[in-house]
Structure 1
């Protein structure tokens, strides 16, 4: 098996983990803070707190996480066919 498949598999799992973190963050704040009556909502910059934390803060968090992952965990892999130099 080509070594690049192992790298691609690891990086795919990292992508799945990032998607899971994004979903859990969004779900936790959207349904955790947003499940009460509207009259009890707190507002941040004119937005309900659940929306601000789940969507606005969550977006910035994911952007930062993706930058960190790309910079430190993903590796550049050549896509051209390797020549056998035996």
Structure 2
């Protein structure tokens, strides 16, 4: 595939947009995890509150974060991302 084809093929535009969506999800996941893990986790151990036997910072950053990210990925994959054919276009 030459450079000319990659500029005109609409699949590249779709792939580029969806790659940025993936980057956005990864950044959101890191900010969520970092905010709760270091925000709530930087308190003294005596100040921790516990949810289901886990420190609140761990519960929110890892358990809730995992569930939230799983739901976001499912929703985005189902409703935002588009299916693209990988078949080569035949020029006539």
TM-score bracket for the superposition, by shorter chain length: over 0.9
The CA distance in 2 between the partners of 1:64 and 1:22, in whole Å, is 12
Residue of structure 2 in register with 1:4 after alignment: 11
The CA distance in 1 between the partners of 2:45 and 2:71, in whole Å, is 31
Residue of structure 1 in register with 2:3 after alignment: none
Partner of 2:39, secondary structure, is: helix
Residue of structure 1 in register with 2:89 after alignment: 82
Cα root mean square deviation, aligned: 0.7
Q: Structure 2-normalised TM-score?
A: 0.89
Structure 1 runs (4+) deviating above 3 angstroms are none
Residue of structure 2 in register with 1:65 after alignment: 72
Which of 47, 50, 55 is matched with 1:40 structurally? 47
| Unpaired segments ≥5 residues, structure 2 | 1-6
